[in-house]
Amino acid sequence: MADRARAAAKTAATRRSQRSPLVLDISRLGRRPGTMTTVCETVPSPSRMGLDLIAIQPGAGVDLDLRLESVSEGVLVTGTVHAPTRGECARCLTPIAGEIEIELTELFAYPDSATESTTEADEVGHVVDDTVDLEQPIVDAVGLALPFAPVCSEDCPGLCPECGVALASAGPEHRHDLIDPRWAKLAALLPPGDQEQHPGPGSGAS
């Protein structure tokens, strides 16, 4: 079962490598422990990476500042990933933009290594055809780093529960005269002046 899962993971990685800018060629490391190389470049995000309300959008520039080191069991990738984020405020639904930077530490096991043969397919990355695919590790790290309920500001008052307008832009004069539904038809029969004098129970009048 584990072998089939690993084979499926390798097949998926091979398919992604044909189109993903987050698949890196590590052939120059030559499986020599201690050999290192660096990657400092900006690549387009191949997919939406993040949460429901905020994410790195497809095509956004992803800055990679990474070190790739050959170790006995595979390739160790360490460094930082930086990218812009876009989404909407969880309280008022206003569009928001920001940035995220994550620390990445990921081991990609060599084929036929002890690490590959003794771990589940999703527990460690894999070197496939002298490449490593950073997309899933970045997706996982970004999902953990982003706020589940992002806000445009910490004191965002949200939306008016009656009409749905953003309270931050509505102004202090924004209000609704609430009439108890049991008195609504009766109030409609009164002249405007009398409605103000007799708002009815539940209207908030003291």
- For residue range 30-42, list pLDDT tens digits in order: 888 999 999 999 9
Average pLDDT in the 57-67 region? 98
- How many domains does the chain divide into? 1
Report yes or no on 205 lying in a domain: no
Would you report the helix, strand and coil content of the chain in percent, each value rounded to 5? 25, 30, 45
Is residue 51 within 8 Å of residue 98, measured between CB atoms? no
Q: Which two tokens stand for residue 111?
A: 């084929």
Report yes or no on 185 lying in a domain: no
Residue 21 burial by Cβ neighbours in a 10 Å radius (0-12, 13-18, 19+): middle
Report yes or no on 43 lying in a domain: yes
Average pLDDT in the 8-23 region? 63
Band of the pLDDT at 206, cuts 50, 70, 90?
very low
What pLDDT is attached to residue 74? Answer: 92
Gap between the Cα atoms of 49 and 60, Å rounded: 10
Residue 131 burial by Cβ neighbours in a 10 Å radius (0-12, 13-18, 19+): buried
Report yes or no on 166 lying in a domain: no
What pLDDT is attached to residue 99? Answer: 98
Give the domain extent around 56: 2-145
Average pLDDT in the 146-167 region? 87
Using alpha carbons only, give the angle 27, 32, 33 rounded to the nearest 5 degrees: 125
Is residue 52 within 8 Å of residue 73, measured between CB atoms? no
Average pLDDT in the 72-96 region? 95
Residue 69 phi/psi, 5-degree rounding, is: -125, 130
156 or 11: which leads in pLDDT: 156
Is residue 58 within 8 Å of residue 46, measured between CB atoms? yes
Report yes or no on 150 lying in a domain: no
pTM score, two decimals? 0.72
Measuring CA to CA, which residue among 68, 140, 142 is closest to residue 108? 68
- For residue range 101-146, list pLDDT tens digits in order: 999 999 999 888 766 656 666 677 899 999 999 999 999 999 999 9
Residue 88 phi/psi, 5-degree rounding, is: -140, 150
